[in-house]
Amino acid sequence: MRQTLLHHADQAVLAVLTAIAAGLLFAWWLLAGGSAGELVEIDRARPLEYQFLVDVNSAGWPELSQLPEIGPLLARRIVDSRAQEGPFRQSADLLRVPGIGQRKLARFQRYLAPLPDDLQTAGR
């Protein structure tokens, strides 16, 4: 007579628990979108695209300093200019800030949220 590791009753309980676990896994797979093909394999997923825009009329110097070519010192100058001379109406108004020239403005202008006069010019 062969000895088994588990009695027949224990084998039946283990079979039932395994069936329940398999059923729960299948239910999770269905709810996660597996049957519709909505599961995403992370290694093959397309990268997310985002747009980083800064409003120079409301951003503080820490946010402005994240722009290319703008460090903390120039960011503080932008905030000071805005406080002293009023909001920027168009991106070219940033040229009034000491340290910003045409080339530097061109390098970070694509990260600026549209300003009121820039929107009017673009709509023409």
Residue 4 predicted with pLDDT over 80: no
User: Are 66 and 117 found together in one domain?
Assistant: yes
Q: How many domains are there within the chain?
A: 2
Residue 80 lies in a domain: yes
Radius of gyration of the chain (CA): 31
Residue 55 lies in a domain: no
Tell me the average pLDDT across 87-98.
Answer: 93
CA 67, CA 71: separation in Å to the nearest integer? 8
Tell me the average pLDDT across 72-93.
Answer: 94
Tens digits of residue pLDDT in 8-62: 888 999 999 999 999 999 998 888 777 776 666 677 777 777 778 899 999 999 9
Residue 67 lies in a domain: yes
Structural domain containing residue 28: 8-43
To which residue do tokens 């588990």 refer?
6
Residue 49 lies in a domain: no
Q: Which band of pLDDT confidence, cut at 50, 70 and 90, is reported for residue 82? A: very high
Residue 13 lies in a domain: yes
User: Are 66 and 112 found together in one domain?
Assistant: yes
- Are 119 and 113 spatial neighbours (Cβ–Cβ below 8 Å)? no
Q: Which band of pLDDT confidence, cut at 50, 70 and 90, is reported for residue 118? A: low
Q: What does pTM read for this prediction?
A: 0.58
User: Are 73 and 114 found together in one domain?
Assistant: yes
Cα–Cα separations (whole angstroms), residue 21 to 24, 28, 73, 90? 5, 11, 60, 62
User: Are 31 and 66 found together in one domain?
Assistant: no
Residue 56 lies in a domain: no
